[in-house]
Amino acid sequence: MGIIPGPSPYGLAYKDKTNYLYTKGYEFSLEGVNYVGEYHKDGKDFKTEPIPTTTSKALTKYYSDQLVYEYDKARGFPKRIRVIPNQIVWAPISTNYTTGFATRYFVERAGNYEGYPIEIDQDQRQQYGKEGGIDEGAYSVLTLKWKLTGSERNLYRNNQLYAEGIYEYNQRQVIIGTRVIPNIESAIKSYTEYAKITLV
């Protein structure tokens, strides 16, 4: 039987991995505050402490914004299915090269600046914050417009900028995106990824 380290007033019986539940944070909120500690499942709900007691308190989904918590509290905490984002390996399609641009979507667990963002598809982005979609209280989402065609780098003529390069355009989009997802650069392989040079 595997034993999870750490003190518990309920004895080692509840340290069995099949029964014992512990969160390191960014999964639940207790009265709007990020909850770290032992918890248990009570029907469809989650509560503090490893087993039901008279002092157990109800846990809600994780809230990174206190105002969102207060809003949901006023509405009686509407039930939502928590969905974990499904990472994709993105690649452009032919119509993207026709327009010269593509739209990419990224998510990162809110408030977890030691983590890393992942790329998701359009369907997941459209369901973000909806029933059966990615929980907007637990994840931040970023939409990036990605340039695919043109000159590789800024193109100058007569000492003036003639066309913004693919590299510079995408780099600028990513820098702007750090306001939403600070670690977004870690999810980008190259600013000219999948680029097609059509202007020299």
CA 193-113-20 angle, to 5 degrees, is: 120
What pLDDT was estimated at residue 81?
Answer: 52
Q: Confirm whether pTM is higher than 0.75.
A: no
CA 146-150-151 angle, to 5 degrees, is: 110
> What span, in angstroms and rounded, lies between the C-alpha atoms of 29 and 32?
5
> What span, in angstroms and rounded, lies between the C-alpha atoms of 139 and 106?
10
Q: Which amino acid is at 87?
A: Q
> What span, in angstroms and rounded, lies between the C-alpha atoms of 118 and 183?
10
What pLDDT was estimated at residue 7?
Answer: 46
| Complete edge-to-edge strand list for the sheet that includes strand 45-48 | 21-23, 37-42, 45-48, 58-61, 28-30, 33-34
What pLDDT was estimated at residue 96?
Answer: 97
Residue 6's Cα: distance from chain center in Å? 29
What pLDDT was estimated at residue 13?
Answer: 38
Q: Looking at beta carbons, which pairs linking 153-156 to residues 24 or more positions away fall under 8 Å?
A: 155/199, 155/200
pLDDT by 10s per residue, the chain, length 200: 343 444 444 443 344 445 678 888 877 888 878 889 998 888 778 899 988 898 999 888 777 677 777 767 777 766 555 678 999 999 999 999 999 999 999 999 887 666 789 999 999 999 998 877 888 878 899 999 999 999 999 999 999 999 999 999 999 999 999 999 999 999 999 999 999 999 98
